[in-house]
A and B are shown apart, each in its own frame.
Chain A
Amino acid sequence: MDLRKIEEIFFRILMFCSTVIIAVSLIIIIFSTFYKGLPHLTWEMISKTPKGGFYFGKEGGILNAIVGSLYLSFGATILAILFGLPLALFLNVHIAHRRKLVNVVRFVMDLLWGVPSIVYGAFGFTIMVFFGIRASLLAGIITVTLFIIPIMVRGIDEVLQSVPRGLHESSLSLGSTRAETAYKVFLKQSVPGVVTAILLSFGRAIGDAASILFTTGYTDHIPTSLSQPTATLPLAIFFQLSSPIPQVRDRAYAAAAVLFIIILIISILSRFFSKRYQKNKINF
């Protein structure tokens, strides 16, 4: 009898420890990023481009990477919305009654969602070479778009699935067209959830390095057109962190702090929106 109690207590302690490990890991990650990055996050750092080459120059900041990352992820997110939103609506409104087809599409989306970003990167590079495009903002945007479409479709699809069927039927029976049902009823019903899904996709787009490693190139300048190469925050961290020059490494730490702050903002915003969407849904 006592053995049962000892076992129970033993495992409860283990469970508590695992939970603490997870929480503490996050705290250490946040702490080490900001400890290294915040001291270098000066106005000069975020308002100037690097001088004398990003890998060797001791002067300048990371403006090129900040702007480049924003261009890239906004571009990719907007493109992905143009594809992902209609697709998710199509699944839930137009072909909702064809279960087999819907399941196949969802299955393909799940598979694409699981494909590592490096594979998208390699594929994007192959296409670039095939069409003779140079590494550029445009090539990066296209690759990242491919990479985040499944993330976005899955996110939006999940939200749309919780729209009650009755609403679908009553909208159609009032004489709305299917497009109107999709955009005016389904989308309107689930705006906060859709916004959350879009925000999360944006977070993926801005944080991923492997998909843009081949495709965007890297430069000290802020791109002025889609066909120019561009710097990005993840690659600014990746490249500059391996530099032997401490000032260059400081730029990497600052870039990490900036990237982390952006991710934090996205996380807070998406919690705000998903709270509104999940009012009658229990967490955990």
Chain B
Amino acid sequence: MRLRNFNIGRHLRDRLHYSWMLLVLAITMIVPVALLSGLIYKSSFLLSEQSFFQILFSNQWKPLSGKFGFYPFIISSLWVSVVSLLIAVPICLLTAIHLTQYAKRWVLNLMHPVIDLLAGIPSVIFGMWGILVIVPVISNYIGPLFGKNISGYSILAGAIVLSIMIIPFILNILIELFRHIPTELKETSLSLGATQWQTVKFVLVKKIFPGIVSAFGLGMSRAFGETIAVLMVVGNVVHVPKGIFQPGYPLPALIANNYGEMLSIPLYDSALMLAALILFVIVLFFNFLSRLIIVKSNIHN
């Protein structure tokens, strides 16, 4: 009798756990749908009055007179993310190759915590570092080098800060990729008389090329969505930037800077939620594409 009671208790508990797990699963699967539909709902107010393409390609940003042109912000976002990726790509690739193919044990033991820590630093601290170090360096050294007299708050400052932020993220993916190449492939190339660098260049990089592309795609989506650190150093001037020494005003910064007043101006909140929606869709797109590349290349092999 006691045994049976015990069993009933056990199975009841099993059922309870199961129900909770199922509920949790359902809730988490609803989150992306809710995110998307919430943002669409909010931005529909603006979209019912103005056309989407007009908003996207107009550079008139005058919330008080109901003009919401996203063009300057989208271009700024592109500038900052692309430049940061240009900085991060060679550094990540070279470091990943160094750490997986050449480095001595002590370098690995040193760099592992360095990368981990870099990945864990909050974005406000990166932003503060940008204000304290990068902005003055650009204003005092890099700017004058190109004959420019600038404050330092610029696309370049945003891109440098951003590149340091996405480096640990991309680097971890790349290291993982390089580690999973079979040693025999490397041995094969070496035994055919290739130098180590030739092996890297002709065989290893080629072997994981789709993975490398997708790592940078994921890095790009990271860069696109990063808010606070970029906002702190990028200048936040509403215009279409034409070079890396000019200030910019990326999309996430637009949302973050104006939340305070968005309820006091008609359609302003709708415009900002549309900005969030665009951000969400762009980031999803990059994520999706990157993962698709991986899946496709796996099928091929």
Contact = CB atoms under 8 A, between A and B. Distances in A.
Interface stretch (B9-17, B49-57, B183-191): B9-17
Given A29-B129, A90-B21, A283 B14 contact: no
B111 interface: yes
B131 to A, nearest CB: 7
B222 interface: yes
Contacts of B222: 114
A123 interface: yes
A19 B29 contact: no
Interface residues of A, number: 85
Contact of A213 (B125, B232, B259, B273): B259
Interface stretch (A46-54, A56-64, A162-170, A255-263): A255-263
A26 B221 contact: no
Contacts of A266: 120
A210 B228 contact: yes
Interface of A: 4-5, 7-8, 11-12, 14-19, 21-23, 25-26, 28-29, 32-33, 36, 82-83, 86-87, 89-90, 94, 105, 107-112, 114-123, 125-127, 129, 146, 149, 153, 177-180, 182-183, 200, 203, 206-210, 213-214, 234, 237-238, 241, 252-253, 256, 259-260, 263-264, 266-267, 270-271, 283-284
A260 B121 contact: yes
Interface of B: 10-11, 13-14, 16-18, 20-22, 24-25, 27-29, 31-32, 34-35, 38-39, 42, 90-92, 94-95, 97-100, 102-103, 107-118, 120-129, 131-133, 164, 167, 171, 175, 179, 195-198, 218, 221-222, 224-228, 232, 252, 255-256, 259, 263, 269, 272-273, 276, 279-280, 283-284, 286-288, 291
B119 to A, nearest CB: 9
Contact of B18 (A125, A179, A259, A284): A179
Contacts of A18: 90-92, 94-95, 98
B25 A105 contact: yes
Given A19-B99, A180-B14, A256-B125, A234 B283 contact: no
Given A119-B279, A237-B125, A149 B28 contact: yes
Contacts of A17: 94
Contacts of B108: 283-284
Contacts of A120: 35
B251 to A, nearest CB: 9
Given A5-B195, A90-B25, A15 B102 contact: yes
A260 B17 CA distance: 38
Contacts of B123: 207-210, 234
A107 B290 CA distance: 12
Contacts of B17: 86, 178-179, 182-183
